[in-house]
């Protein structure tokens, strides 16, 4: 049985990566539009940071709780 806390953290990480992908995709469409590009670039960087943070939280939980094997079995 998979750890429910790890499952929540994994879901948070998955959502953060999707938000980062969408932010960078939008950023790529704003090349040449300096003001809009800079604003979106800041947003995309924030989403990248969120992605790093949620991945770190997941990894720390797995290490402390020892549930990484459960997550692999639940995949």
pLDDT in the model for residue 75: 46
pLDDT along the chain (75 residues), means of 10: 87 97 94 91 96 96 80 46
Total count of domains within the chain: 1
pLDDT in the model for residue 1: 52
pLDDT in the model for residue 69: 53
What's the CA angle centered on 62, arms 73 and 4, to 5 degrees? 65
- Dump pLDDT digits (tens) for 28-43: 999 889 899 999 999 9
Tokens 């090349």 belong to 31
pLDDT in the model for residue 71: 47
- Residue 53 sits in which domain range? 4-74
pLDDT in the model for residue 72: 47
């Amino acid at each position: 049985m998979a750890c429910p806390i790890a499952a929540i953290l994994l879901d948070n990480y998955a959502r953060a990566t999707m938000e980062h992908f969408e932010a960078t995709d939008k950023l790529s469409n704003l090349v040449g539009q300096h003001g809009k590009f800079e604003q979106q670039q800041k947003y995309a960087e924030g989403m990248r940071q969120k992605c790093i943070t949620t991945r770190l939280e997941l990894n720390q939980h797995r290490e402390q709780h020892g549930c990484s094997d459960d997550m692999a079995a639940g995949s």
